Amino acid sequence: MNCAMKRDYFDGIKNPKISKDMIDLASHILDTKAAHFDPSKFRDEYENALKSLVRRKAAGKPVKSAQREEKPDNVISLMDALKQSLKGRASTKRAAHSPSRRTTRRPARKAHRSAAQARKAS
């Protein structure tokens, strides 16, 4: 793709307005995360595993395939969730009626009328 085609392709994209605060924040993040890259400290685990696999296969040794890790299902049984919810509610009801709780009751608060109800009543 030549330069003229690239310019035409991106013409419809508008330049976003970025506040000075956002630019300062981005600069701060880049400054704090910037460091010298030392390739001797970098270990490519994928490459190492692949080399090991090739060596084992070349030596005629059996190659074990890694078992896929079972991931928990995101599907929630609504019936189970409802049962759990009801179990929690039953235990809180029992706790509220237990004798160890406070036995004296507070006096009921008087219901206050809204301004509209007060106007209607008068």
Tell me what pLDDT residue 16 has.
Answer: 86
User: Which residue type occupies 2?
Assistant: N
In degrees, rounded to 5, the angle at the alpha carbon of residue 84 between the alpha carbons of residues 73 and 95 is 150
The whole-angstrom separation of Cα 87 and Cα 98 is 17
Tell me what pLDDT residue 108 has.
Answer: 64
Neighbours of 36 (CB within 10 A): 4
Q: Over the stretch 16-64, which tens digit does the pLDDT of each residue have?
A: 899 999 999 999 999 999 888 888 888 899 999 999 999 999 999 888 7
Tell me what pLDDT residue 51 has.
Answer: 94
Give the tokens for residue 73. Answer: 């299902």
Give the tokens for residue 15. Answer: 């330049």
The whole-angstrom separation of Cα 52 and Cα 58 is 10
Rg (CA), the chain: 34
Give the tokens for residue 8. Answer: 């035409």
Tell me what pLDDT residue 59 has.
Answer: 93
User: Which residue type occupies 17?
Assistant: K
Q: Over the stretch 69-102, which tens digit does the pLDDT of each residue have?
A: 777 777 778 888 888 889 877 655 555 555 555 5
